[in-house]
Structure 1
Amino acid sequence: MAEVSNKQVILKHYVTGFPKESDMELRTLTLKLEVPPGSKAVLVKNLYLSCDPYMRDRMSKPHDSYVPSFTPGSPIVGYGVAKVVDSDNPNFKKGDLVWGMTGWEEYTIITDTQAKALFKIEHTDVPLSYYTGLLGMPGMTAYVGFYEVCSPKKGDTVYVSAASGAVGQLVGQLAKLFGCYVVGSAGTNQKVDLLKNKFGFDEAFNYKEEQDLDAALKKFFPDGIDIYFENVGGKMLDAVLLNMKLHGRIAACGMISQYNLEKPEGVHNSFCLITKRIRMQGFLVFDYYHLYPQYLDMILPHIKKGMVTYVEDVAEGLESAPAALIGLFSGRNVGKQVVTISHQ
């Protein structure tokens, strides 16, 4: 079996503060396009890679976290869409399309244990890249966060921060389909326009243009917020707590404003959790993957009827991946950040 070159993005060292492109580097190794007999491994050709905020946590030195840190000198790992090139695993055959954890490289050998977490792609009449977002981990995150954690009721008032991102854009659309009043915030006027005109949010605002977040929220939610889908943390969470209704629900999905701070900001209005009897629940999508078939059954008809839409920010080529990942933390991406490695 001939060897092929395998371009990779590796983490050079652990990161403190804001990550930089120079914390990663490209290298090229060689690889045989076959898996060892008896290994039950799967060899995949990577097609699309997903850039997600949680990956910042994995760039830090090992600490108490829900995901292990990357290994310096080894390829970065993340969600991706891939095609099976060779397989010694009875669950996968050559030509299968899959999504799940893969390496930031052209080809990845996925071990028997890792292959248990791969999802086979059965529906190919939608863009394959959607399996990094709308039909993958971010889509599932929006679905379980809204329906399972927030316990929505028709007519609820819903606020989504980082609303144009991979998860937020879908949360808003699900809430609208459910019959809620939905407001989102984002960091540019272009994104605010997307929220209102593409995703159907009732209102949206640019948080960077608001001097007083408490006042901004009071303007859009004069009677208070029933559901807050939390993607930001820090000052935003503090302002939201002042504006929650009695028995409000907060789904704590992410806190991107805190990921690069060496000392996270404190939350000063937490007493509101008691006085307003607010339920604030953190959640991880891994705990809900058993609901994935149910999610697909719900979302695919909505996509095909044009009732749910999705915006992707696509970077071309593995060499563009470090900049694409870093861009998440300054809000450079518009929509779900995807890196195209190969068009099959």
Structure 2
Amino acid sequence: MLKRFNNILTPIIAVLLGIIVGTIIMVVSGYDAVAAFTALWNGAFGESYYVGEVVRQFTPYILAGLAVAFAFRVGLFNIGVEGQFLVGWLAAVWVGVAFDLPKIIHLPLAILAAMAAGALWAFIPGFLKARFRVHEVIVTIMMNYVALHVTNYIIKNIITDNKDKTDLVKESASLRSDWLQSITDYSRLHWGIVIAIIGCFVMWFLLERTTRGFELRAVGFNQHAAHYAGMSVNKNIILSMVIAGAFAGLAGAMEGLGTFGYATVKGGFTGVGFDGIAVALLGGNTSIGVFFSALLFGALKVGALNMPLEAGVPNELVDIIIALIVFFVASSYIIRVFLDRFSKKEVK
């Protein structure tokens, strides 16, 4: 019980330390920290429009965080979420543009296409890890760049006639909702948040309540012990990467079918996949932790846009705070040591 409490307390302390150090940086730089955080809060929760944008922002963060967390629970570091995210985005839009079907068929088909594309992209590093023991970090990093340039080529030369943007997905493949937008003062909120919450439940149920999930976690704890217990380590490595890639592809579908409704040629990475790493780390690689971590990151990202307008504070300071939070999460061992020592003193 004490260990679980410390595991919950550690990310909270990391967030507080990040905010405290970020506040010190603001004050030293000559900015009003109180005005800055007030503007941040108002920009995230001050109006229904901003609330809708926060929910819209953290929807893909949840799924990207799950993609990192799921692989990590099996002992793999999936840095390729950004690439899996991009191919999922493109696949969803491609199906959404190319077909004219009833919504009950078209929307699920586009979502499944995104999941399949992300899973296929993640299968490659998973197979190389299982078959040849090629480190997944190197392969997934390289495949991010491959995904970026391949998707740009397909958009410009296959889906469109030398254009930088596809057509809008058909209404039958869209996640957008007039009702959700109207109650949030016409923000870009869409039904993807429901899918993201279902994704959290799926990850929890799969890992904690199924035999396959037990095998996956066993491989993550100790591959040699899992092998001697009769489990197929290679099969579970590939399966974990495929499932993680499906989550990442689904995150791409949220953008392609919901937020934007199209795919465009990109000059660089979107950052969602890389933010997913921070979300998973802060969330302790658990589904409930990822949900609340994504909420924090979404609020910080959206609220930061109001800081220059209301307080005259550059929104890059929020990126500094996020980086500090990640730093303290990465240094969580030190925090845990301190908590353990404090707990032992309390017991005495």
TM-score class normalised by the smaller sequence:
under 0.3
Task: Name which structure has the greater RCO, CA cutoff 8 Å, separation 6+.
Answer: 2
Higher normalized helix content (fraction of residues): 2
TM-score (norm 1): 0.24
TM-score, normalising length from structure 2?
0.24
